[in-house]
Amino acid sequence: MSTAAQLVLASRSPRRAELLAQLGVRFVVRPADIAEDLDPSLDLGAAVEQLACRKARAADAPASGLPVLGADTLVTCGGEVLGKPVDPRQAAEFLRLLSGRQHEVLTGVAVASGDQVLSCLQCTRVHFRALREEEIERYVASGEPMGKAGAYGIQGLAGVFVEHIEGSYTGVMGLPVAQTATLLGHFGICIP
């Protein structure tokens, strides 16, 4: 079996790379260098999916001829968009907002090759139990919330905050694998 790359991953996310590797996809990482602004004229889901498409189109892969996968994830709670926290204070604010509530995690995924771009949106509802202030402080002090939409990683320490989810666990991690596998299949990358 050839070990040549099948795909370009237009993301710096170690979680997305881990999930693709678990699927057996061979890829190279070439992050898209674009502004991650959402189009305010679109609803949030459409804006996240559009951003994933822009990332897939912008990655530096023209010479390789490989399909490019772009993705973006955001968290929304009570009408407020929670991106990646800029500092520990904001991370704690996000976690207080999520405490004892349901929120949505929207992940857009796009695969581009030549003139063709296919995309999808995965929406997962996540229910957090009520968090004590000392839990929030300890979690923020761990450093794990930084660099993560909504200030938490479901696959890490924050897994204990989650009462249940409705949707894709891997979508909350940043790459819904079932939908991603379907998209990749349209480009000849088959996952067993």
**Catalytic residue IDs:** 72
Nearest to 9 by CA among 73, 51, 63, 52: 52
Q: Find where tokens 């892969």 sit.
A: 61
**Do strands 68-77 and 27-29 pair parallel, antiparallel, or not at all (unpaired)?**
unpaired
DSSP assignments along 94-145, one per residue: HHHHHTTSEEEEEEEEEEEETTEEEEEEEEEEEEEPPPPHHHHHHHHHHTTT
- What separation in angstroms does the CA of 26 have from each of 13, 23, 66, 84, 89? 16, 9, 11, 28, 38
> Do residues 30 and 8 lie in contact, with contact meaning Cβ atoms separated by under 8 Å?
yes
Q: Find where tokens 């407020």 sit.
A: 80
